[in-house]
Amino acid sequence: MTRVGCHVSIRGGIENAPKMARELGCEVMQIFSRPPQGGSGQELTPEVVKNFKLRVTRYGLHDVYIHAPYYINLASTDNRIRYGSISAIRTELERASLLGAKYVMTHLGSAKEMENAEAIKKVIEGLEKVLDGYNGSAKLLIENSAGAGKIIGADIKEIEEILSKIKSPALAGICLDTQHGFASGYDWKSGSINFKNIKLIHANDSATDLGSRKDRHEHIGKGKIGMEGFAQIAAFAKKQKNDLICETDYPEVTEDIKILKKLISSR
């Protein structure tokens, strides 16, 4: 069954997020477990974890998803950044497993001055290090990018190539961001969506044009993807049983959630 939710703030404590999610109309939710720009974040004591899980159940949330920090770059030539990224993703997977979250999604980073093939090789090696010896319950997803500069993962086929090289069952598939995909050239209005490895969808309209390569989210139906595009996205999500997560601003995100629920129910 496809469920709808949004990214929820953890301000005041991670255990407060489920109540806020319910008030926004969420059936599932996404959070950061730590500050996205860096930092250790809230200690996940047994009491915090217990309260969080109890409230997830109390407020009727079916699944929890965690977004990795923004600074991740597995292709960096700076070992401090690269190994810091590896450590950060592994830490998120471990924190997600404690909290009972289903997936952690991460971006891959930028090739910058490297050739693309070399950068992808470094990304694959980095992901293998992330998952080496990992036996937690949370799985990892790779999120597609909008394609600015030499960002890795704007091409979904490129992500599928990376997935095919890594054998760990902890790497589950792709988190499809509809705005990033539209900005990198995928026109969701043009026909049926047909990707095999999508496990979760970030449902965001686009404030910028098709192929703009700019990461600019807009509320559902108010951007360049529009309701026609989201009708296709909803049909795909329902067929695949993918949950939909909005990453748009409060308080209007509540209307986005309502629109997506209506689209899902009408498919």
For the chain, the average pLDDT equals 96
| Residue keyed to tokens 């926004």 | 24
User: What number is the average pLDDT over the span 248-259?
Assistant: 97
98-112: per-residue pLDDT in tens?
999 999 999 999 988
Mean pLDDT of 80-86: 96
Structural domain includes residue 172: yes
Q: Supply the CATH number for residue 253's domain.
A: 3.20.20.150
Question: Which domain range does residue 240 map to?
Answer: 71-266
pLDDT score of 99: 98
Q: Pick the range with the lowest mean pLDDT from 4-18, 91-105, 149-163.
A: 149-163
Give the per-residue pLDDT at 185: 95
Cα separation values, 235 from 42, 188, 227, 245, Å? 38, 11, 12, 15
Give the single-character DSSP code of 206. E
Q: What is the pLDDT of residue 144?
A: 97
Q: Residue 191's pLDDT is what? A: 74
How much is the pLDDT for 55?
98
* 215 lies in some domain: yes
Structure tokens at 84: 């810091």
Considering its fold, how many domains does the chain have in total?
1
Q: Is residue 62 part of a domain?
A: no
Please give the pLDDT value at position 138: 98
Residues 205 and 221: beta-carbon distance below 8 Å: yes
In a domain, 35, yes or no: no
DSSP H helices, the chain, are: 17-24, 46-58, 79-99, 116-131, 156-165, 178-183, 226-240, 253-266
In a domain, 58, yes or no: no
Position 146 scores a pLDDT of 93
Mean pLDDT over 140-161 rounds to 92
Residue 16 lies in a domain: no
Residue-level pLDDT at 114: 85
Report how far residue 162's alpha carbon sits from residue 180's, in angstroms, rounded to the nearest whole number.
18
Min mean pLDDT across 19-33, 116-130, 145-159, 204-218 is at: 145-159
Is 114 part of a structural domain of the chain? yes
Strand-pairing partners, residue 245, are: 5, 202
- pTM of the entire structure? 0.96
pLDDT value, residue 18: 98
Confidence label for 261 from pLDDT (cuts 50, 70 and 90):
very high
The CA distances from residue 41 to 9, 12, 69, in Å, are 13, 12, 11
In a domain, 184, yes or no: yes
pLDDT band of residue 150 (cuts 50, 70, 90) is: confident
